[in-house]
């Protein structure tokens, strides 16, 4: 039995790249994504480092291609439930949650949101804004078709009779009796591109996240700057009427605990500093860093450019930094390069947090029968030579599921995984 | 025959229907009828992108024998392809259709219904005007050759060859030196787990040599490479005997030319080449791998060593990415040989981007290696002693002596990169490495279709990342260049009129794809249709108006604008 259909788990930038390359050859690709939209984390960024290209403009054509490809069967709101078999002959059971909105009939006009009486925190926006129980996570989501949150929809959770969205839809695209499905597929190979998560800042009380409202994660700052984000790109504070006049970015939060450098934080922290200088030219921007990790040929130039924009770089070990203060003002205690204690006040603090393995890594590794490394990411079979192979033939890795990477690294690894698949089925 | 133009307005549910007066649009558009030259059929539909809507359109095209189709609906980003596919279902050439966006451009942004309607009418008239000047275009198919030329037989070139070679695909692996393996064969061990290098590399080299689908040419250079994706004509020449040539065709080219090391003599403060017992990291690697020893010139093992990172980093303007890790490795070599040795590593930033790097650093530190972060550094000699004078991050100046000094010079683009770039018509960026097609989304491709860059030819890389590139090129080529499958080049491309071209060659200098060549005999520029991507650079720069972009001709745009601003 040699089935040449492919399963790709995760529709971030790595999963999308792999799907498109394989679909181009006429192979059938099942692209399974747990969220209601595709694009992964890349679509959360306004610009990418270091060329500052608009991120959504860059990735949207690829997302469109996925949606239009005849060879890609996209399964959103879907997770893997069972995997059996071996290379050339895997049987996979997929749990596909009901979307309640037809991907075929909906045209994405958005008329259904307003009448929905339920308001919820929008996790895609790092809870910085609200969404309705029928929602797309942000403007520009692809597929541009909303989903209904069955736990909070009044009709679906049985709390009340409500038909507001159904009535508002001019296309009869909403079906509240939609059911979760189990789908069984047969594939010859699997590419795991399930991505990463960010370490929980609650584990680092010394930096004040959760205690002081104006301490933010870098991802929150990304969404604040994003033109399709919760503030449409305005840098506002959780507490306070005016935009911040001074902002401190603290790098390497969680690095020591995780035992590795996340390799992208220096660059995205520089990008955040650039964003803030651009939006708030008079604000003072401080960047607390230790060693700069700038492994790309253009990265050092970007570092220099951002410095020239007037960002203050402060060399300071992250483990000795403390953030105190109140709702209005934050006080950063740190040790400078001369190992002297200093203090600096700021209106806003941004934490650049370590990248960690995706939430589903442990469960997926069990389902797929592949190993994790000591850091929690999926283990590649040769750390010396570089590899997309897992401990199981026919299952390959791509992107941050294997370890922290930038977009370029994720794309390359996705192409390498496709290379392996193609060699096998050649 | 008269033009029979079908104009179909989509209601898009209430999205368009509620915001513009479709009835008025249809009346005014129907009034543009000028039989018998121009017959206009104007109708509406509730949702043209739906399956039912598409069937309706296909039926209309056939039934009304339409010669042109104008659809007034949403953004081309949403449904241009949908409606082109409808045209393809019928006999209507898809380039004789035009999508006019009256949703995002009118209905959704203009609150006043009359105003929105008027703008929509104007846009539709512009669309009708344009479509009648459009020409049918057809896709072409080209035969392709699945074989691949790989330039450079270092670890990236070797791995690329192994990923690509197969029963139906030959690989020509060209190496300018006399042996294959590249820089990696000069190392004793591979990072980060200190496994012995030679076994793994020798195994790969052996597999390449035994693979009957890989033809290896050593002491050979590429003399000529002409053509396009799927069909490059290659001439190789033997470096020793220039008369000895080899010609063949390939479908793709992989550049794996690797790197060179920055020469530390260029920065006198490191004392390299002047003071005894100062070595580059590569010299230490070679000594260790050949003799198993790392000794001073006196023949004695060093009692102290200083390892200086970042030599040439400021001068080159980038971090070379791999040096930190290999300097830890060298420190461990020295510790293994002489456990009592005092080792100090001088660094600026520790760059540890791979997930196992930090562990390796901690391990090295735990073996008793000192690390000092410096601002400035210089090597000085007094009598027979060598000193490292340095300024620490806190501004304090200090000095230590060391018997042996090992420098980590920056990684530079390989010598000859410029020639290869010229030969293949690809670009180098400001760092001197080959420029990728897109920094983020297409890092191993170049601006020339079918020419790829892998390993340190693109950016300083360690072995795993070079291997990853090499496997990625497998992913690219094995999916794009399939034996027996024809290639379909871009349809919307430029063309240069023989009659108008004055032979000034401005277009050649602005073409990023090398798609234009100059015909000396006829004294005109000619577009190679297989390579052109239709960017329009040549059209905009042609002083004599000889270059046209198909589907975006001046006439088409003029006629469209004329109606739009009427």
Q: Say if residue A263 is in the same domain as residue A346.
A: yes
Take residue A125 and report the two structure tokens written for it: 């926006």
B148-258+414-480 is a CATH 3.50.50.60 domain: yes
Q: Say if residue A75 is in the same domain as residue A218.
A: no
Domain range summary for chain B, segments of one domain joined by +:
3-137, 148-258+414-480, 262-409, 494-550
Q: How many beta-carbon contacts under 8 Å exist across A and B?
A: 210
Across all residues in chain B, what is the average pLDDT?
Answer: 94
B139-164 confidence digits (pLDDT tens): 999 999 999 999 999 999 999 999 99
pLDDT of B192 higher than 70: no
Q: Does B352 touch chain A (CB under 8 A)?
A: yes
Q: What are the helix and strand counts (H, E) for chain B?
A: 16, 27
Residue A12 lies in a domain: yes
Q: Say if residue A325 is in the same domain as residue A387.
A: no
Q: Does A397 touch chain B (CB under 8 A)?
A: no
Q: How far is CA A33 from the centre of its chain?
A: 12
Residue A261 lies in a domain: yes
Q: Say if residue A189 is in the same domain as residue A50.
A: yes
The whole-number average pLDDT for the span B50-68 is 96
> pLDDT value at position B195?
57
Indicate yes or no: pTM above 0.90: yes
Is the Cβ pair A292, B351 closer than 8 Å? yes
Contact present, A416 and B477 (Cβ < 8 Å) = no
Q: Does B109 touch chain A (CB under 8 A)?
A: no
User: Long-range contacts made by residues B204-213, C-beta under 8 angstroms, separation at least 24?
Assistant: B204/B155, B204/B158, B204/B159, B204/B162, B205/B158, B205/B180, B205/B181, B207/B162, B208/B153, B208/B158, B208/B161, B208/B162, B208/B173, B208/B180, B209/B180, B211/B161, B211/B162, B211/B165, B213/B165, B213/B166, B213/B167, B213/B169, B213/B170, B213/B171
Q: How confident is the model at residue A386 (pLDDT cuts 50, 70, 90)?
A: confident
Q: Does B296 touch chain A (CB under 8 A)?
A: no
The whole-number average pLDDT for the span A299-303 is 96
Which residues of chain B does A412 touch, with a Cβ-Cβ cutoff of 8 Å? 443-444, 465, 468-469, 472
Percentage of residues in chain A with pLDDT exceeding 70?
A: 100
Chain B segment 125-144 residues within 8 A of A by beta carbon are: none
Which residues of chain A does B373 touch, with a Cβ-Cβ cutoff of 8 Å? 291
pLDDT of A199 higher than 70: yes
Is the Cβ pair B471, A419 closer than 8 Å? yes
Helices (H), B95-196: 113-131, 155-164
> pLDDT value at position A385?
77
Q: Which CATH class is domain B3-137?
A: alpha beta
Name the packing angle between helices B554-564 and B113-131 (round to 10°): 150
- Nearest CB partner across the interface for B479, out of A25, A111, A385: A25
Chain A segment 333-362 residues within 8 A of B by beta carbon are: 337-339
Q: How confident is the model at residue B191 (pLDDT cuts 50, 70, 90)?
A: low
B27-55 confidence digits (pLDDT tens): 999 999 988 888 999 999 999 999 999 99
> pLDDT value at position B197?
63
Is the Cβ pair A416, B468 closer than 8 Å? yes
Q: Is A63 left (phi over 0), alpha (psi -120 to 50) or beta?
A: alpha
- Nearest CB partner across the interface for B431, out of A293, A297, A383: A297
Is the Cβ pair A422, B321 closer than 8 Å? no
First and final C-alpha spacing in chain A = 15
Give the distance from residue A216's alpha carbon to the nearest chain B alpha carbon, in angstroms.
24
Contact present, B436 and B453 (Cβ < 8 Å) = yes
Q: Say if residue A61 is in the same domain as residue A188.
A: yes
The whole-number average pLDDT for the span B182-194 is 71
Which residues of chain A does B460 touch, with a Cβ-Cβ cutoff of 8 Å? 297
Is the Cβ pair B352, A260 closer than 8 Å? yes
Q: How confident is the model at residue A1 (pLDDT cuts 50, 70, 90)?
A: low
Give the distance from residue A49's alpha carbon to the nearest chain B alpha carbon, in angstroms.
9
Q: For residue A66, which of A364, A350, A414 has the smallest C-alpha distance?
A: A414
Q: Say if residue A347 is in the same domain as residue A363.
A: no
Q: Does B377 touch chain A (CB under 8 A)?
A: no
A137-159 confidence digits (pLDDT tens): 999 999 999 999 999 999 999 99
What's the rounded Cα separation, in Å, for the pair A138 and B177?
55
Q: Does B468 touch chain A (CB under 8 A)?
A: yes
Domain boundary among A294, A320, A354: A354
Q: How confident is the model at residue B97 (pLDDT cuts 50, 70, 90)?
A: very high
Is the Cβ pair A109, B15 closer than 8 Å? yes
- Nearest CB partner across the interface for B471, out of A53, A373, A416: A416
Q: For residue B437, which of B461, B418, B421, B453 has the smallest C-alpha distance?
A: B453
Contact present, B540 and B500 (Cβ < 8 Å) = no
Task: Mutation target for B interface from A386, A399, A407, A411: give the one with most B CBs within 10 A.
Answer: A386
Strand pairing class (A119-121; A189-192): unpaired
Which residues of chain B does A297 touch, with a Cβ-Cβ cutoff of 8 Å? 318, 429, 431, 433, 459-460
Q: Does A170 touch chain B (CB under 8 A)?
A: yes
Q: Does B81 touch chain A (CB under 8 A)?
A: yes
Q: How confident is the model at residue B389 (pLDDT cuts 50, 70, 90)?
A: very high
Which residues of chain A does B352 touch, with a Cβ-Cβ cutoff of 8 Å? 260-261, 263, 291, 293
Across all residues in chain A, what is the average pLDDT?
Answer: 95
Percentage of residues in chain A with pLDDT exceeding 90?
A: 93
Q: For residue B131, which of B26, B8, B11, B45 has the smallest C-alpha distance?
A: B8
Give the distance from residue B57's alpha carbon to the nearest chain A alpha carbon, in angstroms.
18
Contact present, B531 and B228 (Cβ < 8 Å) = yes
Q: Does B336 touch chain A (CB under 8 A)?
A: no
| SS3 labels along chain A | CCCCCEEEECCCHHHHHHHHHHHHCCCCEEEECCCCCCCCCHHHCCEECCCCEEHHHHHHHHHHHHHHCCCEEEECCEEEEEEEEECCEEEEEEEECCCCECCCCCCCCCCCCCCCCCEEECHHHCCCCEEECEECCCCCCCCCCCEECCCCCCCCCCCCCCCHHHHHCCCCCECCCCCCEEEEEEECEEEECCCEEECCHHHCHHHCECCECCEEEHHHHHHHHCCCCCCCCCCCCCCCCCCCCEEEEEEEECHHHHCCCCCCHHHHHHHHHHHHHHHCCCCEEEEEECCCCCCCCCHHHHHHHHHHCCCEEEECCHHHCEEEECCCCEEEEEECCCCCEEEEEECEEEEEECEEECCCHHHHHHHHCCCECCCCCECCCCCCCCCCECCCCCEEECHHHCCCCCHHHHHHHHHHHHHHHHHHHC
- Identify the residue with better confidence: A24 or B194: A24
Q: How far is CA A146 from the centre of its chain?
A: 19
Domain boundary among A338, A354, A370: A354
> pLDDT value at position B190?
67
Q: Say if residue A265 is in the same domain as residue A293.
A: yes
Q: Does B49 touch chain A (CB under 8 A)?
A: yes
Helices (H), B138-196: 155-164
Kind and range of the H or E run holding B382: strand B369-382
What's the rounded Cα separation, in Å, for the pair B111 and B103?
12
- Nearest CB partner across the interface for B441, out of A107, A300, A411: A411
What's the rounded Cα separation, in Å, for the pair B334 and B328?
10
pLDDT of B344 higher than 70: yes
Which residues of chain A does B442 touch, with a Cβ-Cβ cutoff of 8 Å? 411
How far CA B369 is from CA of A20, A259, A266, B330, B403, in Å, comes to 48, 19, 26, 11, 15
Compute φ and ψ for B398, nearest 5 degrees: -140, 165
Which residues of chain B does A384 touch, with a Cβ-Cβ cutoff of 8 Å? 190-193, 195, 200, 463-464
Q: Does A53 touch chain B (CB under 8 A)?
A: yes
CATH number for the domain harbouring residue A394 = 3.50.50.60
Q: Say if residue A248 is in the same domain as residue A314.
A: yes
Residue A166 lies in a domain: no
Locate the chain A residue with the closest alpha carbon to B465.
Answer: A386
Which CATH code of 3.40.50.10800, 3.50.50.60, 3.90.1170.50, 3.30.1490.20 fits the domain covering B262-409?
3.50.50.60
- The residues near A158 (Cβ < 8 Å, ≥ 6 apart) are none
Give the distance from residue A238's alpha carbon to the nearest chain B alpha carbon, in angstroms.
31
Which residues of chain A does B482 touch, with a Cβ-Cβ cutoff of 8 Å? 25
Place of tokens 């002491």: B219
- CATH topology identical between B262-409 and B494-550: no
Q: Say if residue A47 is in the same domain as residue A92.
A: yes
Strand ranges in B417-521 using DSSP code E only, listed in sequence order = 451-453, 494-496, 516-519
> pLDDT value at position B566?
84
pLDDT of A326 higher than 90: no
Fill in the DSSP letter of residue B455.
G
- Nearest CB partner across the interface for A301, out of B313, B317, B467: B317
Q: Say if residue A228 is in the same domain as residue A342.
A: yes
Which residues of chain B does A64 touch, with a Cβ-Cβ cutoff of 8 Å? 77
The whole-number average pLDDT for the span A346-362 is 97
The whole-number average pLDDT for the span B347-366 is 94
- Nearest CB partner across the interface for B350, out of A291, A404, A413: A291
What's the rounded Cα separation, in Å, for the pair B175 and B258?
11
B420-448 confidence digits (pLDDT tens): 999 999 999 999 999 999 999 999 999 99
Q: Say if residue A300 is in the same domain as residue A372.
A: no
Q: Does B366 touch chain A (CB under 8 A)?
A: no
Is the Cβ pair A385, B200 closer than 8 Å? yes
Give the distance from residue B474's alpha carbon to the nearest chain A alpha carbon, in angstroms.
4
Is the Cβ pair B429, A297 closer than 8 Å? yes
Task: State the total domains in chain A.
Answer: 2
Chain B segment 179-238 residues within 8 A of A by beta carbon are: 190-193, 195, 200
pLDDT of B394 higher than 90: no
Domain limits for position A20: 6-97+180-195+358-425
Q: Say if residue A278 is in the same domain as residue A316.
A: yes
Name the packing angle between helices B323-337 and B357-366 (round to 10°): 30
pLDDT of B219 higher than 60: yes
Q: Which CATH class is domain B494-550?
A: alpha beta
Chain A segment 205-244 residues within 8 A of B by beta carbon are: none
- Nearest CB partner across the interface for A292, out of B349, B395, B465: B349
Take residue A301 and report the two structure tokens written for it: 């130039």
Take residue A73 and report the two structure tokens written for it: 């069967």
Half-sphere exposure of B167 (CA within 13 A, CB side): 4
- Nearest CB partner across the interface for A412, out of B50, B317, B443: B443
- Nearest CB partner across the interface for B463, out of A18, A300, A385: A385
pLDDT of B203 higher than 70: yes
Compute how many other C-beta atoms are within 10 angstroms of the C-beta atom of residue B486: 11
């Amino acid at each position: 039995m040699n089935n040449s259909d492919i399963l790709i788990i995760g529709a971030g930038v790595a999963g999308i790249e792999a799907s498109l390359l394989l679909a181009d050859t006429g192979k059938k690709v099942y692209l399974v994504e747990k969220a209601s939209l595709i694009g992964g984390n890349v679509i959360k960024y306004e610009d990418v480092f270091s060329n500052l290209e608009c991120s959504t403009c860059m990735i949207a054509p690829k997302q469109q291609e996925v949606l239009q490809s005849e060879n890609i069967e996209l399964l959103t709101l879907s997770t893997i439930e069972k995997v059996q078999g071996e290379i050339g002959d895997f049987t996979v059971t997929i749990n596909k949650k009901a979307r309640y909105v037809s991907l075929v009939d909906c045209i994405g006009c958005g008329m259904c949101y307003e009448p929905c009486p339920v308001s919820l925190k929008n996790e895609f926006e790092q809870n910085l804004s609200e969404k309705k129980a029928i929602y797309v996570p942000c403007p520009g989501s692809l597929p541009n078709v909303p989903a209904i949150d069955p736990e909070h929809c009044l009709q679906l959770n049985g709390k009340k009779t409500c038909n507001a969205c159904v009535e508002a839809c001019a296309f009869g695209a909403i079906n509240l009796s939609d059911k979760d499905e189990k789908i069984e597929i047969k594939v010859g190979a699997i590419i795991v591109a399930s991505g990463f998560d960010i370490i929980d800042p609650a584990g680092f009380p010394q930096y004040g996240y959760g205690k002081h409202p104006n301490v933010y994660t870098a991802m929150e700052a990304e969404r604040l700057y994003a033109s399709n984000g919760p503030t449409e790109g305005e840098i506002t504070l959780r507490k306070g009427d005016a935009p911040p006049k001074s902002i401190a970015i603290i790098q390497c939060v969680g690095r020591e605990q995780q035992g590795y450098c996340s390799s992208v934080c220096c660059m995205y922290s520089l990008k955040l500093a650039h964003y803030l200088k651009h939006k708030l030219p008079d604000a003072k921007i401080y960047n607390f860093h230790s060693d700069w990790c700038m492994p790309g040929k253009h990265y050092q130039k970007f570092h220099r450019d951002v410095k020239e924009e007037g960002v203050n770089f402060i060399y300071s070990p992250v483990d000795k930094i403390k953030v105190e203060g109140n709702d209005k003002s934050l006080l950063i205690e740190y040790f400078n390069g001369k190992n002297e204690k200093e203090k600096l006040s700021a209106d806003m603090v941004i934490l650049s947090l370590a990248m960690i393995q995706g939430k589903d890594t442990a469960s997926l590794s069990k389902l797929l029968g592949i190993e994790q490394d000591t850091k929690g990411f999926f283990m590649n079979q040769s750390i010396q030579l570089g590899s997309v192979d897992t401990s199981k033939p026919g299952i390959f890795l791509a992107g941050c599921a294997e370890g922290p990477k930038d977009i370029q690294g994720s794309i390359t690894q996705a192409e390498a995984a496709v290379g392996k698949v193609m060699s096998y089925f050649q | 025959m008269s033009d029979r133009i079908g104009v179909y307005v989509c209601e898009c549910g209430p999205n368009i229907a509620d915001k513009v007066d479709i009835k008025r649009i249809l009346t005014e558009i129907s009034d543009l009828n000028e039989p018998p030259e121009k017959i206009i059929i104007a109708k509406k539909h509730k949702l043209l992108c739906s399956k039912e809507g598409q069937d309706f359109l296909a039926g209309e095209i056939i039934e009304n024998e339409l010669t042109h189709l104008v659809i007034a609906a949403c953004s081309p980003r949403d449904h241009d392809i949908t409606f082109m596919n409808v045209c393809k279902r019928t006999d209507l050439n898809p380039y004789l259709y035009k999508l006019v966006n009256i949703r995002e451009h009118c209905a959704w942004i203009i609150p006043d219904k009359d105003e929105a309607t008027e703008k929509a009418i104007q846009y539709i008239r512009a669309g009708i005007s344009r479509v009648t000047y459009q020409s049918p275009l057809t896709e072409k198919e080209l035969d392709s050759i699945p074989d691949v030329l790989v330039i450079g037989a270092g670890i990236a070139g070797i791995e690329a060859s192994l990923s690509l070679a197969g029963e139906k695909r030959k690989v020509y692996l060209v190496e300018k030196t006399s042996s294959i393996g590249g820089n990696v064969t000069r190392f004793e061990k591979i990072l980060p787990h200190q496994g012995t290098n030679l076994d793994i590399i020798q195994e790969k080299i052996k597999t390449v040599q035994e693979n009957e689908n890989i033809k290896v040419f050593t002491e050979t250079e590429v003399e000529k490479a002409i053509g396009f994706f799927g069909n490059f004509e290659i001439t190789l020449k033997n470096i020793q005997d220039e008369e000895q040539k080899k010609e063949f065709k390939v479908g793709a080219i992989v550049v794996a030319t690797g790197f060179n090391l920055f020469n530390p003599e260029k920065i006198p403060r490191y004392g390299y080449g002047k003071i005894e017992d100062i070595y580059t990291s590569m010299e230490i690697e070679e000594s260790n791998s050949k003799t198993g020893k790392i000794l001073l010139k006196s023949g004695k093992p060093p009692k102290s060593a200083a390892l200086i990172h970042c030599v040439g980093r400021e001068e080159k303007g980038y971090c070379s990415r791999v040096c930190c890790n290999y300097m830890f490795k060298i420190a461990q070599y020295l510790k293994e040989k002489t456990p009592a040795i005092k080792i100090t590593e001088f660094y600026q930033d520790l760059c540890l981007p791979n997930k196992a790097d930090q562990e390796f650093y901690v391990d090295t530190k735990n073996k008793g290696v000192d690390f000092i972060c410096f601002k400035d550094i210089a090597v000085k000699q007094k009598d027979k002693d060598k000193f490292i004078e340095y300024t620490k991050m806190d501004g304090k100046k200090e000095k230590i002596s060391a018997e042996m000094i090992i420098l980590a010079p920056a990684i530079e683009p390989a010598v000859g990169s410029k020639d290869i770039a010229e030969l293949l018509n690809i670009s180098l960026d400001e760092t001197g490495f080959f420029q990728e097609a897109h920094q983020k989304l297409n890092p191993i491709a170049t601006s020339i279709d079918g020419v790829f860059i892998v390993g340190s030819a693109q950016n300083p890389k360690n072995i795993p990342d070079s291997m990853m590139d090499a496997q990625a090129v497998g992913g690219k080529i094995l999916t794009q260049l399939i034996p027996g499958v024809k290639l379909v080049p871009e349809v919307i491309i430029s063309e240069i009129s023989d009659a108008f071209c004055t032979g000034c060659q401005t277009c050649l200098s602005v073409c990023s794809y090398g798609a234009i060549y100059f015909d000396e005999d006829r004294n005109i520029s000619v577009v190679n249709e297989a390579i052109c991507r239709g960017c329009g650079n040549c059209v905009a720069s042609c002083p004599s108006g000889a270059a046209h972009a198909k589907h975006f001709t001046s006439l088409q745009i003029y006629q469209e604008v004329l109606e739009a601003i009427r």
